[in-house]
Structure 1
């Protein structure tokens, strides 16, 4: 395990960048990253695997909510996705490589690997390839223990032994909200039974599920840093401060 560095929780982390749709700054865009950097915040972003094995910075599995295009992100090549404008702003979907170039080590970056929970580990491998030579503070996290277990087991070979690896979690994984999970996956994730394989350096836990035994115990012994998402008000930030080390926020400025 990599000891989580102080920068991971040194400043609030802007959820999908410092986005503001009313101002034309769309989530996970280069503009949202620039706004976070200008305000002195860290950046959290989501990366999705494309048809040709690359990564784009985009949260949803499908394109409809944030673009004029319909369809599954995984059915498009990265070049085609990078040509799509984000609705309500002037940005286009950034490739992960372009996003890293834009940030350029100027602020801490937390990268969430999105997953279909289908055993496809190409996204994790591509992320590692892009981050191996990235000169800046960066961490990788995911809800899915499989890509994190891969990165943990092969960190040295992949060139990311210096990169903190974390798990994202919440208290329950209902069939309604997580239909892609098998019963076995649901049990493993609910009770954090993947810990011997994932061995996270830090934890990012749902604000709605605080306080909870898993973040409390991991924060206490072995002393992992815990962040929480998604904090949307000063009142929620005050609650988060009781149980976690830093917030992932949106909709206000802490």
Structure 2
């Protein structure tokens, strides 16, 4: 599959164009509308609710962003929609609701967030929903199991592998060897991604440079300052950013 021009045409706002000072919380409809108004694409995340429904939310736990405690996976969609965000009147939405609201107005990067116990069937659920969407989108994940499901069941969906130098505290459930394989893009041989999203500070490593030369586009995460931006412009094809206006 040839990667479409929109994947590298304009920067992606990381979890929407959020701004805590203005009461715009990450991964809320307010943040998404702000990104669209500013002319950016949207990068967002989906977590699995207790019934398998993809919910638009980044963290595994509710505590940091909402007034509720506990793991997202412990609650139904109806319960999660009632969770109040800190400092915002926005409420959590399902992936289907998110797509209906965005309605092809900008390009989307949708990252599947998982834990070790997350079933690969979650990726199939995401793929089923996205296969009906008419706007520009791509799916990515750190978890190669999810991307492999998409490759096997939804080969026409644009898919990417998220990677970088994964510190143990970010993903304590996986081994040092698994992190080594992720950093060196070993899993690209198994899941055949159309692009990768690589940590900005690791872009000069051999693996992402070879992928860019031989396979496809490299997106860079998360660009937060001028130094990051300069690095990404040299070694990547597009950026996922926050805290600045590229």
**SS of aligned partner of 1:123:** helix
Q: Which residue of 2 aligns with 1:182?
A: 175
Aligned length: 246
Offset at 1:185?
2.9
Q: Which residue of 2 aligns with 1:77?
A: 76
Which has the higher mean CA deviation after the structures are superposed, 228-237 or 103-112?
Answer: 228-237
C-alpha distance 230-120 of structure 1, shift in aligned 2 (>3 A): same
1:41-56 superposed matches below 5 A: 41-56=40-55
Q: Which residue of 2 aligns with 1:169?
A: 163
Q: Which residue of 2 aligns with 1:150?
A: 149
**SS of aligned partner of 1:67:** coil
Q: Distance in 1 between matches of 2:117 and 2:2?
A: 29
**SS of aligned partner of 1:126:** helix
Offset at 1:119?
5.5
Q: Distance in 2 between matches of 1:19 and 1:54?
A: 24
1:1-254 superposed matches below 5 A: 2-118=1-117, 120-156=119-155, 161=156, 163-171=157-165, 173-183=166-176, 185-222=178-215, 224-254=216-246
**SS of aligned partner of 2:62:** coil
Given that residues 3 and 164 in structure 1 are in contact (C-alpha distance below 8 angstroms), is that contact kept between their aligned partners in structure 2? no
Q: Distance in 2 between matches of 1:139 and 1:228?
A: 15
The answer for unaligned runs of 5 or more in structure 2 is: none
Given that residues 181 and 187 in structure 2 are in contact (C-alpha distance below 8 angstroms), is that contact kept between their aligned partners in structure 1? yes
Output the TM-score relative to the length of structure 1. 0.93
Given that residues 119 and 146 in structure 1 are in contact (C-alpha distance below 8 angstroms), is that contact kept between their aligned partners in structure 2? no
**SS of aligned partner of 2:189:** helix
Output the TM-score relative to the length of structure 2. 0.95
Given that residues 58 and 93 in structure 1 are in contact (C-alpha distance below 8 angstroms), is that contact kept between their aligned partners in structure 2? yes
Given that residues 14 and 44 in structure 2 are in contact (C-alpha distance below 8 angstroms), is that contact kept between their aligned partners in structure 1? yes
Deviations 1:183-209 (A, max 9, x none): 553343233222222101001000121
